[in-house]
């Protein structure tokens, strides 16, 4: 297994996106069959030979230096997320088979659960690199309660977005959520090209969702660290929440995301209502029985 096809398709898609005018390349009125840059133009902008860039674009990143990758990124006008993706693809192509298959974390440590329980005024969840919701506080599970209607566990946000019709009611801007989700998965696939579970998820979504297939073919990647999200929750209605995502470096592949509301806002009031509903309905016990049991045990000891 290798990632040559991924490298090839990513570089070709980025080259096709940049026009000569955007790159400052003189065309001297020549007739072009495509709007993007030619290989020789990218090679010239990057300061490498056409043969060398052709080799790279065919998916062979073996032995390429960081300086060359930087030059290619500048020539193709890659943003920070795209540049990071290019470097991830290069690292994956050069890693040993053993390193490529280094296992990722499958569940969170107790300390992370303590942290989740300590966050009481905002939803908080932990996602793995496959977009499985592996842990959360009570508000986090309550916010995502529409995803627990199905029987499959763990809940997977990508499957919900593309395979559950309720997603288009839950996400106020479904298209943006879908775009972002695919861009995140594309980045994860670049970092973990040999992850069988991730490949299986992507294959399943490609088979079952035309919308996913279309977005996946664009080869877009995106950073997803902070911003605003809007939800329409079936119990409390509209929620406008900030989000902040941070990687859990002690749990490889895991990301903690919190969703605070602006203090004093209608969304802050809605979160308080959601917390009351979650407590009365036993949301945590249904969504995460293990966490609920450990919490009851901790309370009893206290």
Q: What is the CATH number of the domain that holds 46?
A: 1.10.260.40
- 85 near 226, Cβ under 8 Å? no
Residue 33 and residue 128 in one domain: no
With cut-offs at 50, 70 and 90, classify the pLDDT of residue 1.
Answer: very low
What share of the chain in percent tops pLDDT 70? 88
pLDDT of residue 294 exceeding 60, the answer is no
With cut-offs at 50, 70 and 90, classify the pLDDT of residue 72.
Answer: very high
- For the residues 110-121, what does the mean pLDDT come to? 93
Report the alpha-carbon distance of residue 271 to residue 256 in Å, rounded.
19
pLDDT at 193: 84
Sort 78 into a burial class: Cβ within 10 Å, 0-12 / 13-18 / 19+: buried
Report the alpha-carbon distance of residue 229 to residue 226 in Å, rounded.
10
In degrees and rounded to multiples of 5, residue 133 shows phi and psi of: -85, 100
The pTM of the full predicted model, rounded to 2 decimals, is 0.85
Interstrand relation of 124-127 and 226-233 (parallel, antiparallel or unpaired): unpaired
Q: Which domain holds residue 57?
A: 4-94
Residue 157 and residue 235 in one domain: yes
Domain count of the fold of the chain:
2
Q: Residue 101 domain-assigned?
A: no
pLDDT at 100: 52
Report the alpha-carbon distance of residue 58 to residue 286 in Å, rounded.
49
Residue 57 and residue 164 in one domain: no
Residue 174 and residue 133 in one domain: yes
């Amino acid at each position: 297994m290798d990632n040559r096809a991924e490298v090839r398709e990513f570089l070709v898609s980025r080259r096709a996106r940049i026009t000569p005018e955007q790159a400052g390349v003189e065309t001297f009125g020549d007739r072009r069959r495509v709007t993007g840059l030619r290989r020789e133009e990218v090679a010239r902008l990057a300061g490498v030979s056409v043969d060398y860039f052709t080799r790279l674009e065919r998916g062979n990143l073996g032995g390429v230096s960081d300086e060359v990758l930087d030059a290619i990124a500048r020539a193709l006008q890659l943003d920070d997320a795209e540049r990071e993706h290019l470097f991830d693809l290069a690292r994956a192509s050069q890693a040993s088979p053993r390193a490529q298959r280094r296992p990722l974390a499958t569940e969170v440590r107790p300390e992370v659960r303590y942290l989740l329980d300590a966050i009481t005024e905002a939803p908080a969840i932990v996602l793995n690199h496959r977009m499985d919701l592996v842990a959360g506080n009570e508000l986090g599970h309550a916010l995502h309660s529409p995803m627990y209607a199905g029987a499959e566990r763990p809940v997977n946000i990508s499957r919900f977005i593309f395979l559950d019709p309720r997603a288009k009611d839950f996400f106020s801007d479904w298209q943006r959520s879908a775009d972002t989700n695919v861009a995140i998965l594309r980045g994860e696939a670049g970092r973990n090209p040999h992850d069988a579970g991730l490949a299986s998820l992507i294959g399943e979504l490609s088979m079952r969702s035309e919308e996913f297939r279309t977005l996946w073919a664009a080869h877009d990647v995106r950073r997803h660290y902070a911003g605003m999200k809007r939800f329409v929750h079936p119990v409390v209605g509209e929620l406008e929440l900030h989000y902040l995502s941070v990687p859990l470096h002690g749990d490889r592949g895991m990301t903690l995301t919190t969703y605070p509301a602006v203090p004093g806002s209608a969304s802050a009031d809605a979160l308080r209502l959601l917390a009351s509903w979650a407590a009365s309905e036993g949301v945590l016990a249904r969504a995460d029985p293990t966490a609920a049991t450990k919490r009851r045990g901790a309370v009893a000891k206290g």
